Amino acid sequence: MSKQIAFTIFFLAAIGVFGYTISRLRRFFKLTKKDFPLDNIPERIRQTLLVAFGQTKILRRPMIGLMHAFVWWGFLVITIGTAEMMVDGLVGTERFLGKILGPVYTAIMASGDVLAAFIVFACISFLARRYVIKVKRFSGVEMTPTANLDATVALLMILFLMVSLLGMNIAYVKLAGAEKVGVYPVSESLQGLVANIGGSTVAKLHELSWWTHIVLVLVFMNILPYSKHFHVFMSVPNVFFTRLGPYTKLRNMESVTKEVKAMLDPSATIEPQAADAPIPRFGVKDVEDVNWKNYADSLTCTQCGRCTSVCPANTTGKLLSPRKILVDLRHRMNDKGPGLSRDPQYTDGKALVGDYITQEELWACTTCNACVQECPVNIDHVSLIVDMRRSLVMEDSSAPESLVAMFTNIENNGAPWQFSPSDRMRWADDLFSNKAS
């Protein structure tokens, strides 16, 4: 009974903190723009099944992708067991799902047990990739010591989560004996570890493992929203909300369409603007200009660096790193979001473009979409980069001189180079000169 009470108190506290975090994120989302349509639901479901659950994009790097895929599938299975533990803890039952689910339960427990062991191995390998092999894409300006610490803490927590789960299973197998519900291939084969330990000690081990696991789960859950590991929650919805259509199709700016139409046809009636309506800014200059999907992208980014590792600009030594764009957006929201949600006029004298992301970074992008192609959670860097360019050009008239010249050429000659439009057919000069026309 006392265990039930202790757990209930702890559980409610954890939920309370989590609730606070979520309401904070909700406030931040409210600051963003709504303009991101959700059409074509069947295609979205297909993408979610393939990219999120099927891990198709992370598997573009087969070896490490497969390891991640098993960790993820393991997470899905083990979460069922964790939910069961919570109910057990609150209600005072023991493995209550076992009676309800029967053979399905056996399958869940067996695969969870095996995958937990695999995840232990995977976490150690992932840590080794960071600290021993030093995989190149885990470095970069945006990979600050804090960012690296974040990754390490998350990996260690997962590691201990799995160790405690296995400890619990090992103890359970011994304690339950013939009453055992479920099958535990790894824990059963590891019975040698507890063979010479007395029953009461094993019971204590079980209690300790149970508490370690459940406390870690609830603590981890509360750290996640502040960590790059938030992708555990965010990746599935983010993939569902993917920008669909060809990568190279940019979204049309309706606000500009209105103005251009008015310019081309002055007689068209223009809806009168409410006098006190704020003048909308073109493009993205700061965090209040992004749409909710951009912000979701920034919360989803796992900082894996796959985008940056294929970016032609980054790999040839330019400042641009697509990962940094997302990391910066998230930071900016953390810095400006609290003030902005209290007072819509709030300013700290800084902006996302300029103080976090420099023009030099933005102008280096070739819009090749290699980053978008490679991102395992379907983040769209290019739309955001172009939106920031839009603000630079249309709000600040700040583009490299040669681009301004290109604009002028298009405006005056209908071509990005300085040629006269009347010369457009010159290519055909020799071709048809011998033909009677």
Partner 1 sequence: MAEMTAAGEQPEILFWVGCAGAFDDRYKKVTRAFVKILDALGVKYAVLGTEESCTGDPARRAGNEFLFQMQAMGNITVLNGYGIKKIVTACPHCFNTLKNEYPDLGGTYEVIHHSTYLQQLIDEGKLRVSDGKPFKGRRITFHDSCYLGRGNNIYDAPRNVLEQLDADLVEMKRSRSRGLCCGAGGAQMFKEAERGDKEVNVERTEEALATGCQIVATACPFCMTMMEDGTKHFNKEDQVKVYDLAELIATANDL
Q: Tokens in use for 167?
A: 């400890």
Q: Which residues contact 238 (CB under 8 A, 6 or more apart)?
A: 231, 296, 297, 299, 300, 377, 378, 379
Q: Give residues 375-394 in contact with ligand SF4 (rule: CB under 6 A).
A: 375, 377, 379, 381-382
Residue 396 CB, nearest approach to partner 1 (Å): 10
Q: Which does 375 bind (CB under 5 to 8 A by kind): partner 1, ligand SF4, none?
A: ligand SF4
- With CA atoms as reference, report the closest residue to 203 among 161, 163, 170, 181: 170
Q: Give residues 244-303 in contact with ligand SF4 (rule: CB under 6 A).
A: 301-303
Residue 113 CA to residue 116 CA, distance in Å, equals: 5
Q: Quick check: 399 binds partner 1 (CB under 8 A)?
A: yes
Residue 111 CA to residue 299 CA, distance in Å, equals: 30
Residue 286 CA to residue 345 CA, distance in Å, equals: 13
Q: How far is CA 121 from CA 63, 127, 135, 142, 163, in A?
A: 14, 10, 18, 28, 11
DSSP secondary-structure letter at 357?
Answer: B
Q: Which segment (183-191, 195-203, 332-340, 359-367) binds ligand SF4 by CB under 6 A?
A: 359-367
Here's the x/- map for partner 1, 301-330, by CB under 8 A: it reads as ---------x-xx-xxxxxx----------
Q: Quick check: 307 binds ligand SF4 (CB under 6 A)?
A: yes
Residue 308 CB, nearest approach to partner 1 (Å): 14
Q: Quick check: 433 binds partner 1 (CB under 8 A)?
A: no
Residue 143 CA to residue 137 CA, distance in Å, equals: 9
Task: Quote the radius of gyration of the chain (alpha carbons, Å).
Answer: 28
Q: Which residues contact 307 (CB under 8 A, 6 or more apart)?
A: 322, 323, 370, 371, 372, 374, 375, 379, 381
Q: Give residues 312-341 in contact with ligand SF4 (rule: CB under 6 A).
A: 312-313, 320, 322-323, 326
Judged by beta carbon, residue 105 or residue 230, the one nearer ligand SF4 is 230
3-class SS of residue 33: strand
Q: Quick check: 266 binds partner 1 (CB under 8 A)?
A: no
Q: Which segment (38-46, 103-111, 307-315, 411-419) binds ligand SF4 by CB under 6 A?
A: 307-315
Q: Which does 307 bind (CB under 5 to 8 A by kind): partner 1, ligand SF4, none?
A: ligand SF4
Q: Which does 306 bind (CB under 5 to 8 A by kind): partner 1, ligand SF4, none?
A: ligand SF4
Q: Which residues contact 355 (CB under 8 A, 6 or more apart)?
A: none
Here's the x/- map for partner 1, 193-232, by CB under 8 A: it reads as ----------------------------------------
Q: Quick check: 406 binds partner 1 (CB under 8 A)?
A: yes
Residue 18 CA to residue 219 CA, distance in Å, equals: 10
Q: Which segment (118-126, 209-217, 369-377, 424-432) binds ligand SF4 by CB under 6 A?
A: 369-377
Interface with partner 1 (CB under 8 A)? 245-250, 252-253, 256-257, 259-261, 263-264, 282-283, 310, 312-313, 315-320, 360, 363-370, 373, 386, 388-394, 399-400, 402-403, 405-407, 410-411, 414-417, 419, 421-428, 430-431
